[in-house]
């Protein structure tokens, strides 16, 4: 059985309303339990499912980085889009994010992939779909997560001016939920190795975000990640995923 946790943040529970209630999540919970019962491995682990919401309450959101679905390799996904824990080898998409960050702002790429420092500054690291099956990218699309993440985006839209970085076509579809007169929406290709050269590289999302936030009195994001333990040497988990 997949033990879906409650959303810890009271702010998010209030902002999402009925969408976050157990009754509304029942079908999704049953589907995930069936996947586990069938012998499939679901990522991330249940306790990490709402990690992005737990770290970044709606009132603190300054930037939304929206991807597609979690990494599908063992040991990778932990509830923050594009992030991996210290000691896990950088996936190709995150390497490309770091490359664009360097080209955009001159930030030296981190030697680890742990993005929690961004989340704690108000960067909501979200995917359009919050679970995946090991080795099967996109396995849980159109199973119910999209309605939930629609509600998350709509909640951020109701808040102070923010930046929405929509990476890939599934993420870009969420633009319809955002008032672009109040918020900045940056659409680009997904940073995966398959599409980064088709519009992600050169999109300069980080400098655009900081300029927008500064102009609206919300302050810049410090995109330079601090060192995390011995993560520089961490190649212990290889896994798949973009």
Q: Quick check: 164 and 175 in contact, CB under 8 A? A: yes
Beta bridge partners of 184: 163
Q: Left (φ > 0), alpha (ψ -120 to 50) or beta: where does 126 sit?
A: beta
Q: CA nearest 34: which of 147, 149, 143?
A: 143
Q: 34, 48, 69, 103: which one is catalytic?
A: 69
48 is a catalytic site residue? no
Sign of the CA dihedral with 145 first, then 149, 154, and 159 last: positive
Sign of the CA dihedral with 167 first, then 19, 42, and 61 last: positive
Helix axes of 205-215 and 92-105: crossing angle, nearest 10 degrees: 60
Three-class DSSP category at 192: coil
What is the DSSP-derived secondary structure letter of residue 146? H
Positions marked active-site: 69
């Amino acid at each position: 059985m997949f033990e879906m946790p409650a959303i810890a943040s009271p702010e998010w529970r209030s902002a999402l309303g009925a969408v976050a209630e157990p009754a509304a999540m029942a079908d999704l919970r049953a589907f995930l339990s069936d996947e586990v019962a069938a012998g499939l491995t679901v990522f991330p682990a249940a306790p990490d499912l709402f990690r992005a919401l737990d770290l970044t309450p709606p009132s603190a959101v300054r930037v939304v980085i929206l991807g597609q679905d979690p990494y599908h390799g063992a040991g990778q996904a932990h509830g923050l889009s594009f992030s991996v824990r210290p000691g896990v080898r950088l996936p190709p998409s995150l390497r490309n994010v770091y490359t664009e960050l360097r080209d955009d702002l001159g930030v030296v790429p981190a030697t680890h992939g742990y993005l929690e420092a961004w989340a704690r500054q108000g960067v909501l690291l979200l995917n359009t779909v919050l679970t995946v099956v090991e080795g099967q990218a996109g396995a849980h699309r159109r199973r119910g997560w999209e309605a939930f993440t629609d509600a998350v985006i709509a909640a951020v839209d109701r808040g102070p001016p923010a930046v929405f970085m929509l990476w890939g076509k599934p993420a870009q579809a969420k633009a319809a939920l955002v008032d672009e007169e109040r918020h900045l929406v940056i659409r680009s290709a997904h940073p995966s190795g398959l599409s980064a050269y088709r519009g992600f590289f050169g999109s300069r999302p980080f400098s655009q975000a900081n300029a927008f936030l500064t102009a609206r009195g919300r302050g810049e994001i410090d995109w330079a990640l601090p060192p995390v333990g011995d993560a520089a040497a961490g190649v212990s988990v290889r896994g798949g995923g973009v």
